Chain A
C-alpha cells in the first residue's frame, strides 16, 4: 500500500480497523511499563519525589507542540494539495492537542507550587503555552461555528499555519528570555543533562504518550470520516423528492 492509497477514506477506514487494536495494545503495555518505571525512579536530590510529576508533565508538553506540528502539516495538505484526509486529520487532532496542552499546564502548575512556591508565573514559557491552549480552543470553536466543512477547512488551515509561529517561540522562550521555567534538559545541543535513572522512564513515557496520541488521532479521524458520511447522506435524503 502506498501513501496515495491512504488518500482514499474507505481504504483509510479499512487500514485503521486493522491497526487500531494493535496500537491500543502497544500503548497500554508501554504506559504500564512507563508508570512502573516512574514509580520506581529514585527521588531527585533537589526536587525529591516531585520529580515524578516530570514523567507526565514533559510528555504532555512535548505532545502539545507536536500535535500542532501535525495540524500544520495537515493545513499544508488542505491548502496546497487539497488532500481529502488533511482537514479530517487536523480537525481530529485539535481536541487531543488541547487536552495534552491542558495537562501540561496543570501538571506544570502542580509541580511549580512546591518547587517555585507558585502555581503560576507570567513568564515567557508558561504564557506562550497558555496562548497555544487558547489557540486550540479557538480552532475547535471555528470548526464548530462554520457548517460547511470545506469553508471551515480553509479558514482553520490558515489559522493553524499562523499559529505555528508560536511553536518555536515556546521551544526557545527559555533561551531568548529570562524565565522562571528551567532551560531544556533533554532535547538540547550537547545531549541530555538528565541522569539515566530519570531519562529512561521519561523517554518510555514520552513514547507511550506519543503512541496514545497516534491511537486516539486515528480513531478520531475514523469518527470524522463517518460524521462526513452522515452529513452527505442527510443532504442526499433532504434533496430526494418526497413521494
Chain B
C-alpha cells in the first residue's frame, strides 16, 4: 500500500485520531476508578445513602 507524496498528512491524521480517542478512553476509565474509590472511602467513614444501598454498587 503506497500512500503517495502526502503520506505524512495521512499518517498524522490517523495517529492524531488514535491519540485523542485513547486519551478519551483513558480519561473516562480513570474518572470511573476515582469516583468508585471516593464512594468507597465515604462509605468506609460511615456515610451511607438514604436508601441504604451501597453508593458504589452498580448492580
Residues of A within 8 A of B (CB): 10, 13-14, 16-17, 39-40, 43, 48-50, 52-53, 56-57, 60, 95-96, 99, 102-103, 106-107, 110-111, 113-114, 212, 216, 219-220, 222-223, 226-227, 229-230, 232-234, 236-237, 240
The answer on a CB contact under 8 Å between A230 and B42 is yes
Categorize the interface residue count of chain B. Answer: 35 or more
- Top 7 A-B pairs ranked by shortest CB distance? A226-B35, A114-B6, A49-B4, A233-B42, A49-B3, A17-B58, A237-B47
Quote the shortest CB–CB distance from A31 to chain B (angstroms).
Answer: 9
Nearest-CB residue, chain A, relative to B53: A10
The answer on a CB contact under 8 Å between A111 and B13 is yes
Partner pick for B28 among A40, A57, A107, A223, CB 8 A cutoff: A223
What does the 1/0 interface line of B1-24 toward A look like (CB < 8 Å)?
111111101101110110011011
The answer on a CB contact under 8 Å between A99 and B16 is no
Given the contacts A17-B58, A219-B32, A223-B31, A49 and B38 also touching, CB distance less than 8 Å: no
Question: In the complex, which of the residues B9, B35, B42, B47 has the most CB atoms of chain A within 10 Å of its own CB atom?
Answer: B9
The answer on a CB contact under 8 Å between B39 and A96 is no
| Chain B residues, CB < 8 A from A40 | 1
